[in-house]
Chains A and B, each alone.
Chain A
Amino acid sequence: MAEALLTTDSLGVGFNQPLFAPLDFSLFAGELVCLVGPNGAGKSTLFRTLAGLISPMSGKVTLCEKPLEDYSARERARLLASVFTAESIPSGLTVEEFVALGRIPFTSFFDHRTKEDYAAVAMALRDADVESFASRELCALSDGERSRVFLARALAGHARVLLLDEPTAFLDVPHTLALFRLLLRVAREQNIAVFLSTHNIDYALRFAHRILALDGSGNACIGPVNTVVNNGFLTWAEIGINEKE
């Protein structure tokens, strides 16, 4: 059995009332898990809770065998990297500078970069396949390129758990496919857990080792594709096979 990197214990998330039934699940090293569910089901809230940005309503989260709340923000950021839809992308910031921000959890008080930091950035640029435009400005990139740059930033910190909130939201078919392949490869090669939310259920079924499905009315289910489908969380209609019949 692979190592459990992140485990939840009857975790309830939400602001005034829990958004869905308490969750018990683990993310294992080397696996790709997809979070699917309709808008408003609580996908982003779950991610923000797992990232430690908001506290859980009930239950607890364990990251690498230690309760999440026992970490300082900096220690946590070294083990868990999250990519949310960026609030703003400033002009003048190059891809390389942006990816280097992923080293912030390791840099000194005055943000001094060591050889190790530069090496980690170079490797992340290569792993996410963004080396060829490393010196271009972030705001001038296409959505497909940008999604890989966000991934590179998360990889630069050598975290064990990656949380990606809808990384494929603005991508066309070939770019979505490429990003899923890249994520699967990264999860396997670096032996990390990749957890992403997506509305592309077809890709989730194709690439994810397991799926965490939220139905939007408070129920949740996690497991391999079959389990999720058999429990009625993804009807075949949603997957799109019986659409025409």
Chain B
Amino acid sequence: MRHPVLGLVVLFFLVLLFAGGTLFWGPTDLSFQRVWSALFFPGSDVSATQILWELRMPRVFAGLFAGASLGLSGLVLQSVFRNPLAGPFVLGVSSGASLGVALVLLAGFGRGSLGILSAAAMGAFGVIFLVLFCSKFLEHSVSLLIVGLMLGYLIDAIVSLLMYFSDAESLRGFVTWGMGSFSRLTLLETPRFAGVFFVGLALILAGIRYLNVVRLGDAFAESLGIAVRPYRLIVLAGASLLAAGATVYCGPISFLGLAVPHLAYGIFRSSNHRVLIPACALLGALLALMAGWITEIPLNAVTSLLGVPVVLWVLLASRHRRSGGVRG
């Protein structure tokens, strides 16, 4: 794209449009005037105020932050692992975060939302570093995907065991969480989710020069004066934190993180992370808002419908490229 800023501005307004749409239209039929007055004169219309501020507003923020988080997390993972099939869900990072959540909710390690958040972040970080370690021994990028999937299955098995041994009360809470939804975030938790998002974003922005050269190999980055190890640690910590935040507040969401970067490459035709980072954040938020629009449909059904064709397309298209594609 010749004018990436223009594209980003268009995306920004589309995100605003869908965020507004989510506020004004929902399962309960509220007139424009009632939403308007609830928005700007809260309290004048009690039921509308309640619906708007306690149901719709958190859902908008959940979609915005979760979508942007997963899109950015996917972008960083694809760049650092030089693998177009990487993403927080397929590499088992979301599962790692789930294990953290399960350990708190089911096994009773730690408590409170801060406990859940830090456990999830550690779980996500742990999986990323296991995958990073394994990637040193792998030739083909599809192998990395399989390692990630296997790790995911392993962790899901551990989670199932935890579920088996836990009581009905905590189990119910965990199962509803595990289905993935933008409707469970409360207004109270919204600032925390925002905080996690902005810390993760800051970590990724700090590694922007590294991200721009990492696809050409570590030696290339080093020869340009970029210290690979500290930067890799910083951006992967950012990716873990973003994936963990989205997973804690909205449940494990499939494929969004994988699909978003490909849409960004396709639309902006750029490899510069100065463009790709805002593009993935905005596209992720937009897709999440679109997927969450119809609240009755399970979120993961929509994101899988969207994400799986992207995976297949990347796999099939890469055969025809000379040295890019899956080999990265």
Contacts and interface: CB of A to CB of B under 8 A. Distances in A.
Interface of A: 48, 51, 53, 72-78, 81-82, 84, 86-94, 97-98, 101-102, 104-105, 107, 109-112, 137, 139-140, 157
B226 interface: yes
Contacts of B265: 92
Given A110-B274, A111-B209, A111-B273, A51 B322 contact: no
A73 B321 contact: no
Counting from the closest, the 7 A-B pairs by CB-CB distance are A91-B324, A87-B217, A77-B225, A74-B225, A73-B225, A90-B215, A139-B324
B209 A107 contact: yes
A74 B323 CA distance: 29
Contacts of B215: 88, 90, 93
Contacts of B269: 92
A88 B227 CA distance: 18
Contacts of A75: 225
Nearest to B277: A110
B135 interface: no
A48 to B, nearest CB: 8
B82 A91 contact: no
B222 A53 contact: yes
A110 B277 CA distance: 12
A48 B220 CA distance: 11
B253 interface: no
B328 interface: yes
A97 B270 contact: yes
6 contacts: A73-B227, A82-B223, A90-B328, A111-B208, A111-B273, A139-B322
A88 B139 CA distance: 12
A82 B212 CA distance: 18
Given A76-B225, A90-B271, A110 B205 contact: yes
B172 to A, nearest CB: 46
A91 B319 CA distance: 12
Contacts of A109: 206, 208-209
Given A77-B224, A88-B323, A111-B212, 10 more contacts: A51-B223, A77-B225, A87-B217, A87-B218, A87-B219, A97-B270, A104-B212, A109-B208, A111-B274, A139-B322
Contacts of A157: 224
Contacts of B272: 97, 111
A102 B209 CA distance: 11
A84 B220 contact: yes
